[in-house]
Amino acid sequence: MIRFENVTKVYDQKARPALDAVNLEIDRGEFAFLVGASGSGKSTFLRLVLKEDRATSGAVYVAGQNVAKISSWRVPRLRRGIGVVFQDFRLLPQKNVFANVAFAMQVIGKSRSVIRDTVPEVLKTVGLEGKEHRMPHELSGGEQQRVAIARAVVNRPGILLADEPTGNLDPTTSMGIMGVLDKINQNGTTVVMATHDDDIVNEMRKRVVELKNGIVIRDEARALYTSMIPVVGQSRRLKDASGREAPEAGLPGEGEGQR
């Protein structure tokens, strides 16, 4: 569904690349976490998928298309196939819940009757039945994020990108949001979620792609937030930090199956 082939993104010629020769494939229907410190390249990854930015070299494929080859007037079509959720919800404050979700359908020219049928259905999926006429400021953070998710998936995109969707929420609410994302994933949508939230990653046990300084340093299925296997590049750092020799290879029995 999303394939990165040797993708490098350089914002500033003098600084190090934001993404450095990244090769990655995320299959249809998969749920993948993108983890790593700030500045590790998570957001750049999401921006390249959306064609907000152009890769400096290498090729980004979304749903089989090389995004570099999509002409600018067809970019909207690409974006209709991708839902996006942010940390700060980005709802329209003067529109109620129904109108916020309906907005995503109006602007791409869906008819009023389709909107009337689809929006309540999606609101039910995210667990907001009966709150159609609430205004965003009357909702809790978790409920606002559910509205944002509903808006992202109302046009049935094949991919859902979530950029730290639980960053502003408490752990319990976050788990609720993860339940919604998991449900959407069960319905066949590919979900890519950039996050710092180790509890969630550890709880979900999904594929984890870890970025560091623009390089993929770990890619494990059903993994935890921090690696159980010291990677080759990390061993020296571990040794330096602890002051004693660390094993070069992964600890037997601890490692999850490397993808």
Partner 1 sequence: MRLAFVLGEIGSGLRRNLSMVVSVILVTFVSLTFVGAAGMLQMQINQMKGYWYDKVQVAIFLCSEGSTAAGCASGPVTAEQQASLNTLLESPAVAQYVNDFQFESKEEAYNHFKDQFSNSPIVDSVTPDQLPASFRINMKDPEKYQIISETFSSQPGVETVIDQRQLLERLFSVMNGASLVAVSIAGVMIVCAILLIATTIRLSAFSRRRETGIMRLVGASKTVIQLPFILEGVIAAVIGAALASATLWAVAHFFLGEFMSQQYPDTAFISSGQTLILVPALLILGASLAGISSLLTLRRYLRV
* 84 is an interface residue for partner 1 by CB under 8 A: yes
* 108 is an interface residue for partner 1 by CB under 8 A: yes
Pair 104, 149: CB distance under 8 Å:
no
Residue number, 77 or 237, with CB nearest to partner 1: 77
* 155 is an interface residue for partner 1 by CB under 8 A: yes
Of residues 215-254, those binding partner 1 (CB under 8 A)? none
Secondary structure element (H or E) that encloses residue 32, with its range: strand 31-35
* 146 is an interface residue for partner 1 by CB under 8 A: no
Q: Which residues contact 60 (CB under 8 A, 6 or more apart)?
A: 2, 3, 4, 5, 7, 48, 49, 66, 67, 68
Pair 101, 150: CB distance under 8 Å:
yes
Residue number, 76 or 130, with CB nearest to partner 1: 76
Beta strands 215-220 and 207-212, pairing class: antiparallel
* 109 is an interface residue for partner 1 by CB under 8 A: yes
Residue whose C-alpha is closest to residue 150's, from 109, 201, 77, 96:
96
- Pattern 167-206, binding to partner 1, x per CB under 8 A? ----------------------------------------
Q: Of the listed pieces 8-16, 17-25, 73-81, 242-250, which binds partner 1 according to CB under 8 A?
A: 73-81
> What long-range pairs does 109-118 form, CB within 8 A, spacing at least 24?
110/155, 118/154
* 77 is an interface residue for partner 1 by CB under 8 A: yes
Interface residues with partner 1 (CB under 8 A)? 50, 72-73, 76-81, 83-84, 90, 92, 103-104, 106-112, 151-152, 155
